[in-house]
Chain A
Amino acid sequence: GAVVSQHPSWVICKSGTSVKIECRSLDFQATTMFWYRQFPKQSLMLMATSNEGSKATYEQGVEKDKFLINHASLTLSTLTVTSAHPEDSSFYICSARRGGQGQYFGPGTRLTVL
């Protein structure tokens, strides 16, 4: 089956710093990737749709200047949490769209901001 990886799997950072999370489709090309955020014991909430070669589309209420998304190639999308604060601590999951086969999810990145 399709494989999507995320790096790092977990990260701890100080308040005010920026953190970059990578999402890679390992065995297929993905023109569209998605970024989700999941708070403890809650569901996944879509943050943005990442399109290769163009600007990301953000969901209502998501700050695009805080959550920078770059989809520079057909196999890589990055999410940068800028000036992270403790309230940004969450589980971030990416998914990659593979043609008509739906979305394949990465293993997630747990971000803790101290």
Chain B
Amino acid sequence: AQKITQTQPGMFVQEKEAVTLDCTYDTSDPSYGLFWYKQPSSGEMIFLIYQGSYDQQNATEGRYSLNFQKARKSANLVISASQLGDSAMYFCAMRYNFGNEKLTFGTGTRLTIIP
């Protein structure tokens, strides 16, 4: 069975510092995709970044980068130069078996940026 684990229920980070949100996954499928979503208090799910299991390089999107360590089955999200607007819930998700578009979500990490 596919499983996503986020071990940090909450994090507090000083504004302008970098932050790493942990995510580990478990799957026996060779083809899978890993996503990070941001959910502010309004509830909408905002797509941040995507990493495919066959991608050779770590994904980057502006201030977001994904530290993909395939052997360790980890896909940590790194946010550089954090901003107050980054305060939100962050979910790691996995799509397994391409063609099967289902997503399995982790339990989330609540990030709070301190001014």
Chain A residues with CB under 8 Å of chain B are 32, 34, 42-46, 49, 91, 93, 95, 97, 102-108, 110
Contact = CB atoms under 8 A, between A and B. Distances in A.
Interface in B55-112: 91, 95, 101-108
A110 B7 CA distance: 27
Interface of A is mostly: strand
Contacts, number: 47
B102 A43 contact: no
B43 A108 contact: yes
Contacts of A97: 101
A34 B102 contact: yes
A103 B33 CA distance: 12
Given A43-B91, A102-B33, A102-B95, A49 B47 contact: no
Contact of B47 (A34, A43, A91, A104): A104
